Amino acid sequence: MSFVDTLRQWDQGVTCAERQDYSEALSIFLSIDDPNSKISFNIGCLHLYNQELDAAEKAFDASISKDEHLAIAFFQRGITFYKKERYEESFADFQKAFKALRGNQLIDYKALGLRYILNACEVLHNMALVEAHLGNWERAQENMEKALRYNTESKLNAIDKALRSILKQKLFKAVEFPMKLFKPNKHYVAQLESKDYLGKAKVVSSVVPQDQFSGFAPLQPQDEEIPVGPKEPELLRALEGEPHTVLFEFVPETSDELAVVPGNIVFLLQKGADNWAFVVFNERRGLVPYNYLEKMEISLASKNDTEITPPPSREPPTRPERIQGLTPSDKRCSGTKQKEDQTSDDLCIIKVHHNFTVALSVLRGTSYEALIEKISKKMDFPPSAITLRLKPEANGGKIIDGNTGMESVWGGASSGRVTLWCDVTKQTDEQTQSQHAVALHSYESTNPEDLSFTTGDEITLLSRVNQDWLEGQCNGNTGIFPAAYVEVPVYQQ
């Protein structure tokens, strides 16, 4: 089956599922020869919805075999094993899903065509539930307490209820994946409709009686005046970033990385110190190793320049190491580099939970005064308005202040990370009003940390990341966005 046929049937199957015609959707997906990982995942979800557990297990096996980094497939197979009461196998799959998160709080699959966010705390929630079924109540409690460290505000109540059930040695409900399917790339689907670029052929014959010639009229130029030379496409003048050719296939392992194959042309927005490049490809943004790319010059080809350079036959270079704690937005928004004389053991990543979450890097052993000053600048609140805790106030977290021994803070660091909770004294109405902006243009987020909004939305400003990017809240979501997209009053620094 050709790629076009596969794409067409994939799109038809998703359309049927959106109409809740799940049996027809499953029939269409099953008719696809050699389905890819995402289509196999869709087949598994439909079988699981129909309680066809053996068929669902087989489909998720196929999905994982073709993409061993697809955390959501491990999560769904874990649910399947849980329903079959094969708890050891279920726990192993939830463990693999958590490992595939690679220490991140969540994975947003929107860029891959699935409108779903897999949260680490939900995976740990199900791990705790399976341990409870196996009678390992202490390990269940450990996993649920770990889920608290990864929780988001919207999931906190469910985790608290589950933790109370564990303390009473009572079972609780699993977190299940809703009926959502991977969709094919919308830009590829848009190209499925056939387009007639040449128009209809016109049969002509000679006006000479004895002439046997007949044929087709030649194509006529569409412009009244034929230019002397080829015109420079307007698109080339508006491209963002520097064009590069992809030399080797790159398979992403995290949600902020971008899949590319040899021959793709990507546009470099920024190169990081760790040899990762932040690029744009097919209207999607993400990270690829810079040593997989080769800079190119876009120019109008000559008539004789018709050969296409084949991709290299050598093995791709090794994957570069990511700088701990950095995200694409950090690479894009921050021009700073780590000092060479600071090793990773000297630094500690501080995550501070408020209505939004911020992360900053500080030297291990930093004093309370220096720490609160850094957090104050990051959150754009005065130090006097900030109260820090090692645990949420609801869980009995004690206040950290100048009289607190900082050994208790740095001694609790795990893998170079410390999580703190923050309370902020309520601001006056005058201060609150001065921290709002109105969206001049719609902005669709391309990364989990970005904030989406539409023209006219009111955005609560939380902090200024740098001259070009702001952090704010809109429609219950928190993230960063370009300052040029909104009308910002004189910002209170």
Residue 46 has pLDDT above 90, yes or no: yes
pLDDT at position 126 is 93
Mean of the pLDDT values across residues 283-290?
Answer: 85
Mean of the pLDDT values across residues 457-476?
Answer: 81
Residue 425 near residue 232 (C-beta atoms within 8 A): no
Q: Same domain for 31 and 141? A: yes
Residue 432 has pLDDT above 50, yes or no: no
Mean of the pLDDT values across residues 418-426?
Answer: 79
Mean of the pLDDT values across residues 428-444?
Answer: 68
235 pLDDT tier (thresholds 50, 70, 90) = very low
Q: Same domain for 437 and 406? A: no
Q: Same domain for 71 and 154? A: yes
341 pLDDT tier (thresholds 50, 70, 90) = very low
Write down the pTM of the prediction: 0.43
**Could you tell me if residue 38 is inside a domain?**
yes
Mean of the pLDDT values across residues 86-96?
Answer: 93
pLDDT at position 373 is 84
Q: How many CB atoms lie within 10 A of CB 48?
A: 23
What CATH number does residue 359 fall under? 3.10.20.90
Q: Same domain for 30 and 103? A: yes
Number of domains in the chain: 4
Q: Same domain for 396 and 468? A: no
Query: What SS3 string covers the chain?
Result: CCHHHHHHHHHHHHHHHHCCCHHHHHHHHHCCCCCCHHHHHHHHHHHHHCCCHHHHHHHHHHHHHHCCCCHHHHHHHHHHHHHCCCHHHHHHHHHHHHHHCCCCCEEEHHHHCCCCEEEHHHHHHHHHHHHHHCCCHHHHHHHHHHHHHHCCHHHHHHHHHHHHHHHCCCCCCCCCCCCCCCCCCHHHHHCCCCCCCCCCCCEEECCCCCCCCEEECCCCCCCCCCCCCCCCCHHHHHCCCEEEEECCCECCCCCCECCECCCCEEEEEEECCCCEEEEEECCEEEEEEHHHEEECCCCCCCCCCCCCCCCCCCCCCCCCCCCCCCCHHHHHHCCCCCCCCCCCCCEEEEEEECCCEEEEEEECCCCHHHHHHHHHHHHCCCHHHEEEECCCHHHCCCEECCCCCCHHHHCCCECCEEEEEEEECCCCHHHHHCCEEEECCCECCCCCCECCECCCCEEEEEEECCCCEEEEEECCEEEEEEHHHEECCCCCC
**Could you tell me if residue 326 is inside a domain?**
no
pLDDT at position 239 is 54
Mean of the pLDDT values across residues 387-392?
Answer: 82
| Lowest model confidence (mean pLDDT) among 225-234, 296-305, 340-349, 371-380 | 225-234
Kindly give, in sequence order, each residue whose CB lies less than 8 Å from that of residue 434, ignoring residues fewer than 6 positions away.
489, 490, 492
Q: Same domain for 57 and 157? A: yes
Q: Mean pLDDT of all residues in the chain? A: 77
**Could you tell me if residue 198 is inside a domain?**
no
Q: Same domain for 66 and 154? A: yes
pLDDT per position as a tens digit, 64-73: 998 888 999 9
The residue among 424, 444, 479 that closes a domain is 424
- Name residue 458's beta-bridge partners: 438
Q: Same domain for 398 and 436? A: no
Q: Same domain for 33 and 161? A: yes
pLDDT at position 493 is 38
Domain range for 262: 238-297
| Residue whose tokens read 């609150």 | 432
Nearest alpha-carbon partner for 327 in 462, 465, 461 = 465
What CATH number does residue 13 fall under? 1.25.40.10
Mean of the pLDDT values across residues 397-412?
Answer: 76
**Could you tell me if residue 106 is inside a domain?**
yes
pLDDT at position 85 is 93
**Could you tell me if residue 141 is inside a domain?**
yes
**Could you tell me if residue 41 is inside a domain?**
yes
pLDDT per position as a tens digit, 109-161: 888 889 898 989 999 999 999 999 999 999 999 998 888 888 766 667 788 88
Q: Same domain for 386 and 438? A: no
Percent of the chain scoring above 70 in pLDDT:
73
Residue 334 has pLDDT above 60, yes or no: no
CA distance 457 to 436: 10
pLDDT at position 342 is 42
pLDDT at position 134 is 92
Q: Same domain for 357 and 382? A: yes
Residue 431 has pLDDT above 70, yes or no: no
**Could you tell me if residue 242 is inside a domain?**
yes
What CATH number does residue 276 fall under? 2.30.30.40
pLDDT at position 112 is 85
pLDDT per position as a tens digit, 168-207: 899 999 999 888 999 988 777 776 655 554 555 555 544 4
The residue among 167, 194, 223 that closes a domain is 167
pLDDT at position 297 is 64
**Could you tell me if residue 272 is inside a domain?**
yes
234 pLDDT tier (thresholds 50, 70, 90) = very low
The residue among 424, 447, 474 that closes a domain is 424
Q: Same domain for 280 and 163? A: no
pLDDT at position 96 is 93
CA distance 125 to 140: 9
Mean of the pLDDT values across residues 462-491?
Answer: 77
Q: Which residue has the higher pLDDT, 290 or 229?
A: 290
Residue 392 has pLDDT above 80, yes or no: no
pLDDT at position 88 is 93
